[in-house]
Structure 1
Amino acid sequence: MNIKRNIIFSLESRKKNGVPIVENVPIRMRVIFASQRIEFTTGYRIDAAKWDADKQRVKPGCTNKLKQSASEINTDLLRYYTEIQNIFKEFEVQGTMPTTAQVKEAFNNLHSEKREEEQRKPLTFAPMEVFREFIRECGTQNGWSDATYEKFAAVKKHLEKFDKELTFEALDEPKLTSYVNFLKDVEGLRNTSTMKQIAYLKWFLRWCTKKGYCMNNAYESFNPKLKSVQKKVIFLTWEELNKLKDYKIPPTKQYLERVRDVFLFCCFSGLRYSDVYNLKRSDIRDGYIEITTVKTADRLVIELNNHSRAILDKYKDVEFEGHKALPVISNQKMNNYLKELGELAEISEPVSETYYKGSERIDTITPKYALLGTHAGRRTFICNALALGIPAQVVMKWTGHSDYKAMKPYIDIADDVKANAMSKFNQL
């Protein structure tokens, strides 16, 4: 008996507000036989631009949000294909036409057996099966942003580099101390970054303890004392902001004009890069914008001022993909271009910073343009708004900050600006 069948891998067709979703799209496996169709989820996602529809595979060299490689994903897709083929061959040998329920059951049973086999193996961080489960579950439950996925991808990378054979049982206090030294000496992390890595690791281990994977709770009492100083807030003063705004961009560098416009919009609205990137024309009302933030899902109403309105008006007749309001490029490219723009506009005030690696104190002096990034726009908005005398509780309504703790560094800066402004009277 020969059962004709067709096994197809494709991306799910999903839309949001009528617009097709093209990022982080689930890969499905469709099995068609005897005029019937079964849909299987593969457990993988990929951006549409990284998917080869003709070959039904992820394009070589690409990775998804979980940093899973094309070779890893494609290997599993081939395995699923082979498993389905083998299931049909068994029915062909038996001389029976299976129902969709029988095919599903055979496939699911096969994977249940594999899960049970994996659970009987000693759980280790290599090849990080447990970590992948943690990322999938917590990422879905908590609605992680791309940035959070990237943070935990970095945690996974550090752990694998530290010890590919690392087990839960080995994570006692001496091993955790060795990991801290590894982050400092091998990975070159500052103390503040090391403490973040330890906090992320503890998050993961608490989840593992809750799931019954980890019986070693040494991490709970592990609190290394690492010196740190509060990170300096990089922002543009009102004078620097006008200097950047009025700078005449050379004809050979016109690509910087749109970068400047988007950055200035952040400076005059307080929006994060992720929210400017997602800003749609439909979010713009008469005199204000209304958005739901990507990072915190807060609903914000932000009034427009002359500066932010002028930037929106400049692009109101220009069509951008996905009905976006502004020409926003990738965060990485924009950060690079902002440093170039800042250097050209001579935003070069020396900024002194102090940080620690272990017990070593390191002092640096860097021109401000080399420290510019997209988030400096939001910081610029907050610092200048407070310095202008706008009450903190009003600024918090615009930015979505929920408590004064997060605002305190900005309030301190505003107080310094006011004190320096008052000293100018002494020069009269």
Structure 2
Amino acid sequence: MKTNFSLLFYLKKPKNYLKGAVPVYLRITVDGKPVEMSASRKCEPELWNTKAGHMIGTKEDAKTLNSYLDKMKAGVTAAHTALCVEDAEISAEGVKCKYLDKAEKAHTIMEAIKIHNKNMAALVEKEDYAEGTLRRFKVLEKHVKEYLLFKYQTGDLNVRNIDHEFIDGFDFYLHTSKDNDTNTASKHLKNLGKIVRICLRNKWIITDPFFGYKLKSKLVQREYLTAEELQNIAGKKYSTARLTQVRDFFLFSCYTGLSYADVQKLKQTDIRIGIDGEKWLFSYRKKTGTPLAVPLIPVAADILERYKDHPFCVNQNRALPISSNQKMNEYLVEIAALSGIVKTLGNRIAKRTFATTVTLLNGVPIESVSKMMGHTNIRTTQLYAKMLDERVSSDMAPLRQIFASI
């Protein structure tokens, strides 16, 4: 592999330097990436030729130093040549290690993933990351380990061996052996890309194997509830208190756009009077830390009022008594069946319903919807707008009337 390789001797003056000899250093640069090493010699700055990288003069001390530096330069150049002959990946650190007869530490992809997941687990405890995000990286760890055994018959691989061939093979493995669809496989590859970029920052690798690699995706038809379906759920009388309670939680998410984690941590003190003198919900998205400010429409405010004296809410300073996510989903299956809803109810469909049926279809500007949902990029909110055939129909209605009279 051809590389741009250069050497430069220079003087490294310490802080608060006044006078006297200073250390001589050698800078090794490979493809623009430098590393330095001490030459274990010193020289007076006024006797140093910066351009030549040598000591000025013909006296014995100058000849001795320059001879030593020439020998050192020849040794480092020989180390670089040896790496080229070995067809090894060449880096400035690798040349330095070769010259010093030290093996450059090889880092592996599984090592990188494990370190990342350990650090993320600590951040999950501090609520800087959601538990679900960590689970996705643990799944990635499992898939990569199994792929290495399947493809390379090994439990680990030097991270420098990650290239387009590895990425394509892993993508194919996810589609075939793991039966992942295109979007799921791309999410795993995106997470792997994050790991690789950390390796790049740590200088474990010198190039990004994902550079120029295009992740694939397919448009997914995301479901949301219509106004009629929302009314069916809201108007249904359930025989047990637990179903009524879960129904209320689900409706609250539909009318505020909050995720399960955000509703679960919502406190009674998060409900305050806003700029318009009405009740607002002030919080932050657990997933991103983005501030939330959502005006409460009457139906959402009524749900909160219904549970303000509930023992759990009073004792735990919570706005709603929330079951575990698993239990909630089990109960929502029953609620869907009893309400005549054929769609799978859950927090995702609740958030989509808020973005579409509750807000966008009622003329709320997309910028306001984006802010209320805590999106960091309005393009995320635009995904919901693309789903709205009803809005397109209403927007085109005046145009139909204009052209009908022509």
Of 202, 215, 233, 1:211 maps to 202
Is the 8 Å Cα contact of residues 334 and 374 (structure 1) preserved in structure 2?
A: no
Partner of 2:108: 124
Task: Name the TM-score, length of structure 1 as normaliser.
Answer: 0.59
Asked if 1:133 corresponds to 2:115, the answer is: yes
Partner of 1:303: 295
1:332 aligned partner, one-letter code: Q
Per the TM alignment, residue 137 of structure 1 is displaced from its structure 2 partner at its CA by: 4.2
Asked if 1:406 corresponds to 2:380, the answer is: yes
Per the TM alignment, residue 243 of structure 1 is displaced from its structure 2 partner at its CA by: 0.3
1:248 aligned partner, one-letter code: K
Partner of 1:263: 250
Partner of 2:316: 322
Length, aligned pairs only: 280
Cα distance in 1 between the residues matched to 2:372 and 2:112: 40
Partner of 2:325: 331
Partner of 1:381: 354
- DSSP-derived class of the 1:218 partner: coil
Partner of 2:31: none
Percent identical residues: 29
The structure whose Rg is larger is 2
- DSSP-derived class of the 1:201 partner: helix
Asked if 1:292 corresponds to 2:284, the answer is: yes
Distance 1:301 1:383, change over 3 A: same
Cα distance in 1 between the residues matched to 2:248 and 2:324: 14
1:376 aligned partner, one-letter code: I
Cα deviation code 1:284-325 (max 9, x no counterpart): 124122112212222222121210111111111012263211
Distance 1:420 1:390, change over 3 A: closer
Distance 1:422 1:258, change over 3 A: farther
Distance 1:218 1:296, change over 3 A: closer
Structure 1, 238-247 or 300-309: larger mean CA deviation = 300-309
Provide the aligned C-alpha RMSD in A: 2.8
- DSSP-derived class of the 2:340 partner: coil
Of 128, 139, 144, 1:154 maps to 139
Partner of 1:107: none
Is the 8 Å Cα contact of residues 288 and 302 (structure 1) preserved in structure 2?
A: yes
Per the TM alignment, residue 219 of structure 1 is displaced from its structure 2 partner at its CA by: 3.5
Of 347, 358, 368, 1:394 maps to 368
Structure 1 residues not aligned, in runs of 5+: 1-118, 349-367
Cα distance in 2 between the residues matched to 1:402 and 1:387: 22
Per the TM alignment, residue 158 of structure 1 is displaced from its structure 2 partner at its CA by: 0.9
Cα distance in 2 between the residues matched to 1:138 and 1:314: 38
* Within-5 A mapping of 1:17-416: 122-125=106-109, 128-137=110-119, 140=123, 143-163=128-148, 164-215=155-206, 217-223=208-214, 226=216, 228-251=217-240, 254-286=241-273, 287-320=279-312, 322-348=316-342, 368=343, 371-384=344-357, 385-416=359-390
Cα deviation code 1:160-213 (max 9, x no counterpart): 121223332432332322211110111111011111111110110110122133
1:277 aligned partner, one-letter code: Q
Cα distance in 2 between the residues matched to 1:199 and 1:373: 25
Cα distance in 1 between the residues matched to 2:394 and 2:338: 27
Is the 8 Å Cα contact of residues 316 and 325 (structure 1) preserved in structure 2?
A: yes
Is the 8 Å Cα contact of residues 254 and 354 (structure 2) preserved in structure 1?
A: yes
Task: Name the TM-score, length of structure 2 as normaliser.
Answer: 0.62
Per the TM alignment, residue 250 of structure 1 is displaced from its structure 2 partner at its CA by: 3.2
- DSSP-derived class of the 1:328 partner: coil
2:386 aligned partner, one-letter code: D
Per the TM alignment, residue 142 of structure 1 is displaced from its structure 2 partner at its CA by: 10
1:131 aligned partner, one-letter code: I
- DSSP-derived class of the 2:205 partner: coil
Is the 8 Å Cα contact of residues 290 and 300 (structure 1) preserved in structure 2?
A: yes
Per the TM alignment, residue 422 of structure 1 is displaced from its structure 2 partner at its CA by: 8.2
Structure 2 residues not aligned, in runs of 5+: 1-102, 149-154, 274-278, 402-406
1:340 aligned partner, one-letter code: E
Distance 1:186 1:256, change over 3 A: same
Cα distance in 1 between the residues matched to 2:188 and 2:352: 24
Partner of 2:96: none
Distance 1:399 1:323, change over 3 A: same
Structure 1, 167-176 or 260-269: larger mean CA deviation = 167-176
Per the TM alignment, residue 138 of structure 1 is displaced from its structure 2 partner at its CA by: 5.9
Cα deviation code 1:47-72 (max 9, x no counterpart): xxxxxxxxxxxxxxxxxxxxxxxxxx
- DSSP-derived class of the 2:281 partner: strand
Cα distance in 2 between the residues matched to 1:273 and 1:301: 17
Cα deviation code 1:227-251 (max 9, x no counterpart): x422222211100000011112234
Distance 1:274 1:191, change over 3 A: same
Is the 8 Å Cα contact of residues 281 and 296 (structure 2) preserved in structure 1?
A: yes
Cα distance in 2 between the residues matched to 1:374 and 1:239: 19
